[in-house]
């Protein structure tokens, strides 16, 4: 059994060796395979370029966005839907009926269940939620410049951040006077795990506003955008289009997973009933069903309300 002390020594060595796993493992006398396992489970990696998604246009899309091309135009040039482009920008991946978010949330749109991975994943480590957060590469640069004797002001100037931000970072994640970038990144990634209930899960002004607009046949896109216009100074009156769609979907399904039929590829037995099947089925109203079909905009069908 490998001791926790040896594991901690390895991560300290990883900082000293600038992220070189092999060198860090050798310096503390731990098996290389064990060391790589620790690194993977911690969501870290050696320095290098992360691979792109399997979509053939993803690399080109990233290049266009890096060159300053707008999201809609880049999506058009690559030939993907604007929602796919939005997911790419946010680091969201799709697997079956679920969406995996960079912060570890997995939202299943058939059951409405949100699960959270308690381990800092590689995507969560590397994908910043907001430009105000330091990235792993920036933390590594801070460590490099500190070793070189650069001042806090110089480090801040190189990173485009206030010297006070650099000082707080170094003070918070230094051990015996030595800044540990990988430990800082692990601790920060773990601190980001704050799962919250959906904004529309409980009653309040936001839910009431969304429900009323849906009853007036507004689309989720219209609602999300209009909230910013009508409540420019109220951050509590904000909700994403995705959250509205999820609330509609979950309530319409009653949070019950759909039973999937097993595909056997066997021929169906012939119909033996002498009564022919009717191609017309009368519409039956379900008791207590206050929902109608979801509309994409005004005039495109009735939108659901969120109910009470």
Digit-coded pLDDT (tens) for 239-279: 888 888 878 876 665 543 343 344 444 555 555 555 555 44
Would you say residue 162 has pLDDT above 70? yes
Would you say residue 306 has pLDDT above 50? yes
Tell me what pLDDT residue 305 has.
61
Q: Mean pLDDT lowest for which of 4-13, 110-119, 212-221?
A: 110-119
* The CA-based dihedral angle spanning residues 193, 194, 200, 204, taken in that order and rounded to the nearest 10 degrees: -170
Q: Are residues 237 and 219 in the same domain?
A: yes
Q: Are residues 232 and 299 in the same domain?
A: yes
Tell me what pLDDT residue 129 has.
53
Mean pLDDT of the chain: 72
Q: Give me the mean pLDDT over the 151-175 stretch.
A: 92
Q: Are residues 162 and 130 in the same domain?
A: yes
Tell me what pLDDT residue 269 has.
56
- Asked if 305 and 211 count as a contact pair (C-beta separation under 8 A), the reply is yes
Q: Are residues 305 and 205 in the same domain?
A: yes
Q: Are residues 139 and 241 in the same domain?
A: no
**CA dist., res. 159 & res. 265, Å (int):** 59
Q: Are residues 178 and 241 in the same domain?
A: no
Structural domain range at position 178: 126-191
By C-alpha distance, which of 186, 179, 188, 185 is closest to 16? 179
Q: Are residues 25 and 132 in the same domain?
A: no
DSSP-derived pairing of the beta strands 178-179 and 98-100 = unpaired
In a domain, 279, yes or no: no
Q: Are residues 205 and 232 in the same domain?
A: yes
Q: Are residues 303 and 222 in the same domain?
A: yes
In a domain, 46, yes or no: no
Count structural domains, the chain.
Answer: 4
Would you say residue 198 has pLDDT above 90? no
**CA dist., res. 156 & res. 163, Å (int):** 5
pLDDT digits (tens, 9 = 90+) for 65-118: 888 889 999 988 988 788 788 888 888 877 666 777 766 677 776 665 666 555
Tell me what pLDDT residue 112 has.
59
């Amino acid at each position: 059994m490998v001791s926790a002390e040896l594991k901690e020594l390895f991560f300290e060595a990883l900082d000293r060796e600038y992220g070189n796993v092999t060198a860090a493992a050798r310096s503390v006398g731990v098996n290389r395979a064990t060391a790589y396992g620790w690194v993977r489970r911690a969501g870290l990696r050696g320095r290098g370029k992360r691979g792109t998604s399997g979509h053939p246009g993803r690399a080109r899309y990233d290049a266009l966005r890096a060159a300053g091309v707008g999201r809609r135009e880049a999506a058009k040039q690559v030939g993907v839907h604007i929602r796919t482009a939005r997911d790419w920008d946010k680091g969201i991946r799709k697997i079956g009926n679920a969406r995996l978010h960079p912060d570890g949330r997995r939202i299943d749109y058939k059951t409405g269940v949100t699960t959270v991975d308690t381990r800092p994943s590689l995507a969560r480590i590397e994908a910043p939620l907001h430009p105000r957060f330091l990235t792993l590469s920036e933390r590594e640069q801070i460590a490099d410049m500190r070793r070189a004797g650069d001042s806090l002001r110089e480090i801040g100037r190189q990173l485009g951040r206030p010297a006070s931000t650099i000082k707080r970072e170094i003070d918070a994640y230094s051990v015996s006077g030595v800044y540990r970038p990988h430990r800082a990144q692990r601790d920060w990634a773990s601190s980001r795990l704050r799962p919250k209930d959906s904004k529309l899960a409980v009653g309040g002004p936001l839910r009431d506003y969304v429900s009323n607009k849906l009853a007036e046949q507004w689309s989720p896109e219209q609602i999300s955008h209009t909230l910013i216009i009508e409540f420019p100074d109220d951050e509590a009156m904000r909700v994403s289009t995705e959250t509205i769609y999820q609330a509609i979907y979950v309530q319409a399904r009653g949070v019950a997973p759909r039973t999937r039929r097993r595909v056997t590829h066997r021929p169906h037995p012939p119909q033996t009933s002498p009564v022919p099947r009717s191609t017309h089925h009368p519409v039956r109203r379900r008791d207590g069903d206050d929902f109608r079909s979801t509309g994409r905009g005004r005039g495109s069908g009735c939108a659901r309300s969120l109910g009470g």
